[in-house]
């Protein structure tokens, strides 16, 4: 029961932490936009880095965007780490399997949960089950091993890179090393647990079913118990660290890098800018006094000698 309580607690903490991060970034003050092109959602202009702002009297014309092209660009960055590949191929060599392993981990947990729900509702998940039960059974196995192997390889490679790259070493922190050792240790232990006693992930699926049905925990070996406890900890730990940068990255791209909405009179952007201009300056200089609002500063006439 203690293990179940810890798993419930871990998932709750992870969900709350992610929600808090999303709210924090969504309600943050308006960021200065990069104004970098091409912007993927520019319809017919993204290829050469153009903008709707180059059109004559653009404010009188309906705005056309290409969401398919933006989605394609997002997928290439999320799943293939396009930016890392172009800017640092050595890091990409290890970062790509690490992130791919994380994606497979999410898929693995979803399949385990789906299998647990099927089991709880009386649907068998095995080699002799019906179409749905058999599909979940056979998908869980490759997803699980791909998640563990790729994450372990990526974590070990990134740890080696941080340790041996003289330029990067100066920017590393204790948490950078700890996070990679943690992932490698948990995935390595999980691999041993499944290769020696739970090859088809049936035991962890049964444990997941006990969480879904709020029933007693099935008997599992010590290694599997340790794996479940550590995986629960990692699920809780990641959203509390920089490893959950996917939230920041989403807002970085959509609110800063690709944000090309025009600031027109009466718009939501104008309202946010006016609110920011009411903030007071906390420092002073010959041309600025402490406590003065930015509105006064930007609207004041400048005296020339």
CB 189 within 8 A of CB 230: yes
Q: Are residues 145 and 276 in the same domain?
A: no
Q: Are residues 196 and 219 in the same domain?
A: yes
Q: Which residues pair with 32 in a beta bridge?
A: none
Instruction: Give pTM, 2 decimals.
Output: 0.86
Calpha distance 198→230 (Å, rounded): 16
pLDDT at position 303 over 80: no
What is the DSSP code (8-state) at residue 28? S
- Backbone phi, then psi, for 28, in 5-degree steps? -70, 155
Number of domains the chain is built from: 2
Closest by Cα among 7, 5, 13 to 237 = 13
Q: Of 28-42, 86-100, 153-167, 216-230, where does mean pLDDT reach its minimum?
A: 28-42
Closest by Cα among 232, 230, 189, 190 to 208 = 232
pLDDT in tens, 59-86: 888 888 999 999 999 999 999 999 999 9
CATH number of the domain to which 188 belongs? 1.20.950.20
Q: Residue 234 has what pLDDT?
A: 95
Average of pLDDT values for 130-149?
Answer: 95
**Cα 211–chain centre separation:** 25
Q: Are residues 161 and 25 in the same domain?
A: yes
pLDDT at position 301 over 80: no
**Cα 263–chain centre separation:** 29
Percent of residues, the chain, with pLDDT higher than 90? 57
Enclosing domain of residue 274: 268-299
pLDDT at position 286 over 90: no
Residue 147, domain member (yes or no) = yes
Q: Residue 93 has what pLDDT?
A: 95
Q: Are residues 245 and 272 in the same domain?
A: no
Calpha distance 102→125 (Å, rounded): 24
């Amino acid at each position: 029961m203690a293990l179940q309580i810890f798993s419930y607690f871990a998932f709750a903490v992870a969900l709350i932490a992610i929600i808090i991060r999303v709210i924090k970034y969504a309600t943050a003050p308006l960021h200065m936009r990069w104004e970098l092109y091409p912007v993927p959602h520019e319809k017919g202009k993204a290829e050469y880095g153009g903008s709707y702002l180059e059109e004559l009297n653009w404010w009188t014309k309906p705005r056309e965007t290409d969401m398919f092209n933006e989605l394609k660009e997002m997928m290439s960055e999320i799943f293939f780490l396009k930016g890392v590949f172009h800017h640092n191929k050595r890091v990409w060599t290890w970062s790509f399997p690490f992130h791919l392993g994380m994606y497979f981990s999410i898929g693995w947990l979803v399949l385990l949960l789906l299998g647990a729900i099927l089991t709880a509702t009386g649907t068998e998940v095995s080699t002799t089950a019906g179409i749905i039960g058999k599909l979940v059974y056979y998908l869980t196995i490759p997803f699980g091993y791909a998640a563990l192997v790729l994450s372990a390889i990526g974590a070990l490679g990134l740890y080696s890179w941080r340790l041996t790259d003289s330029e990067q070493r100066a920017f590393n922190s204790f948490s950078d090393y700890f996070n990679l050792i943690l992932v490698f240790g948990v995935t390595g232990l999980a691999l041993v647990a499944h290769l020696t006693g739970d090859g088809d992930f049936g035991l962890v699926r049964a444990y997941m079913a006990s969480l879904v049905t709020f029933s007693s925990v099935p008997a599992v070996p010590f290694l599997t118990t340790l794996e479940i406890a550590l995986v629960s900890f990692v699920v809780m730990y990641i959203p509390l660290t920089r490893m959950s940068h996917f939230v920041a990255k989403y807002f970085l791209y959509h609110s800063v890098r690709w944000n090309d909405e025009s600031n027109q009179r009466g718009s939501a952007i104008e309202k946010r800018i006016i609110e920011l201009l009411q903030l007071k300056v906390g420092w002073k200089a010959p041309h600025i006094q402490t406590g003065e609002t930015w509105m006064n500063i930007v609207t004041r006439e400048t005296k020339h000698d």
